[in-house]
Structure 1
Amino acid sequence: MAETRRVSEVDMLMDILDRKTAEEILQEGELRFRALANVVPTIVWTAAPDGTITFANDQWFRFCGITPEQNAHGWPELVLHPDDQLRCMAAWTEALQSGRDYEIEVRNRRFDGEYRWFLTRAVPVRDHQGTITAWFGTTTDIHDRKLTEEALRASEARFRTIVETANEGIWLIGMDACTQFVNARMAAMLGCTPDEMIGRSVLEFTFPEDEPNHRERIGRNLAGEFEQFETRFRRRDGTAIPVLAATSAVRDEHGQASGALGMFCDISEKKALEEQQALLMRELHHRVKNTLTTVQALVNSTARNAVSVHDFRDAVTQRITSLAKTHTLLFNNEMAGVQLREILRSELEPYDDQSGSRILLEGPDLYLPPDLALAFGMAAHELTTNAAKHGALSHPRGCVHASWRFCNRDGEETRILFEWTEQGGPSVAEPDHKGFGTLLLDRVLGRQLGGEVEVAFAPEGLRVRVEAILPGLARD
């Protein structure tokens, strides 16, 4: 019995020694943990299973400017930014209930009143049965990184605002010539959306015959060269769009080319204007030649019929003035054509007494293209001049009636019937020879328009009838 008691006492003593050794080991480990935690630059803390803070290292107290005794009221209420408190507590409560890791970015107030961004992470510590016995956490200052991220986001936002509101198309490609970024303007120029262009090669928007030049330019850009040039791309519908381009390499932080950036301006209107200008120059050249030819014929014909130098000078001056008046009408209408009514009125208006009976113009709106306007202008001048000198307009009670109408036949282009009738003037007799006016009517209105001209010298007044096909004529 005595021996049994001695064994029992020895076992109890060993248990006590084992417990004391374990406690000492734990205490020693705790001291080592605290010592280590106090030398790291990050805030280190622990919490009980219910979330109560059980330890915070010296970095925490230095940041807050408080003592451990002043930390009794808890972390969130003490330093958390008011706007972050609800979000932080909700996330912490969810972690405590679920046992999942905790991670959040919040602002904490420093001892001087400045709020700084921190990343807080915590993981649960479990025993061999999986029960949470504590939480181990770190709180790392990420304020500078956060400011950098915000600056980058602001810069990115400004960049996107600039490129999306730019009138020019902006196109970024990688080393493989595939699209990495394109703004809405560039995509619209090619008939696509930005998303449809991402990942597609520049060469997909190139005509086969232009591909070698595009490949060379891309190679030069990726090699670091800057270029400005005119080119064209193939739109989604297959049509061409001319552009003014400026392209250069994009370099990484090491100075190595990582792609190419291009700015492209749609010059379709510019090209159209250039083509229109070239067309106008050719047309001007053609018209000047035709006008000079007309003047030459006018001078020659007038000279053959003139009885004196004085008559020749007056006749030539009047006829050239008539040409100038018709040209003025044309240019006032931007060379788009002139109404026949305006041509006749410009010649007959000086003889109109506003009674409504001396000059009568009757017919539909009829726009004559420039070449036909000049022909009718010369004819109207000759008829008016003849009427003023020898016909109805030479008498106070004389009148001129000019009428025109369309008389198309099946399968033909626009056909017009023009009639000039004089009444109330001196008695008319057919002349012994054809004068310039008659010859002009026949040559200009007859031959040039491929029409039929009838001139009748009736005693009561001159009558002229012209029926002709007017190709390309505009009618309202």
Structure 2
Amino acid sequence: MSELDFLSQAFGVTRGQGEEGVVATRDTLQRMNSAFRILTDAMPQMVWSTLPDGYHDYYNARWYEFTGVPPGSTDGEGWNDMFHPDDQDYAWGIWRNSLATGEPYEVNYRLRHHSGEYRWTLGRALPLRNESGEIVRWIGTCTDIHESKMMAEENEVLSRELSHRIKNIFAVINGLIGMSARQNPQLRPMAAELQDRIAALGRAHEFARPHSEQSRPVNIASTLSGLLTEILSAYPALGAGRLTISGDDPEIDDRSATPIALVFHELATNSAKYGALSSEDGSVQIVVAQDDDVVAISWIEDKGPVVAGEPDETGFGTRLVQLAITQQLAGAIERHWLPEGLRVDMKVSASRLKRVDGAPV
């Protein structure tokens, strides 16, 4: 294929017939090529282009300014030598997959700067296809993301340190409560309940705090089911299949994790003391159903001690659950004291479980 034929395909220009048509086509393509180069040289990103087989044959002025290499020295496969040695095989693998499948190319790698340092860069490319759907060229960009990458890593370090300090605070508070209970034996029952609540908050914090890929809890998704499994894992009924979680699984974040942890810790604790989980045959179902922004959560106890009716007095735990659902999650809660067991129906907004992108913290 001649250069004129290739450029005609690449830019979708119909090749003219006869000598005058060929000249006109060539002039049109030359003007388009000049406009393309002017446009790409004016862009802040590094721009590059390859043949359908991946052979690099064009880089804009930003590429040569960034890398400091002589023009043409990175044509063909020479570009990969510009990457950090630890990133070369990975980048090659992603690029070969795109060439084989036609899928968009996107990869982060460290690119050698003209100063000699390696800077983190985002590489992207899309295929240019002709009318038949065949790839006739790849057009790509490289964007320097080094500062934002370093800032993200610094924030991760600060986040881990902050999380460590918060966990220490939980431990100190639990220790102070234990000391007070030892000095005042009459406070021990209340102290034990308070320590359990603080422990639940600690698990919720560790579960929902911002994580990197390295610090993220293994095999636990940032969803309602994941958090409930973490909070209720201390109860043997969960492993025995008498405490089940089913239905939809909306995403959650750090804002909703704390009230959710408190709510289900209280429900499970009361059930283990007085309800279905206090019986060997008792069971609890947690059923979740999401309809657009409304998330309905039901706590359904069965086969526990017979429920005589609603208690005459409302305990602190019940008030805590009410407060968490209605105020912190802006939802509603109903309790049904059925003979076969307590049923608690809760409704909250999905947008209160997980922030909508762009919403304030």
Q: TM-score w.r.t. structure 2 length?
A: 0.49
Computing the radius of gyration from Cα coordinates, the structure with the larger value is 1
Which structure shows the higher strand fraction?
Answer: 1
**RCO comparison, higher one (Cα < 8 Å, 6+):** 2
Q: TM-score w.r.t. structure 1 length?
A: 0.38
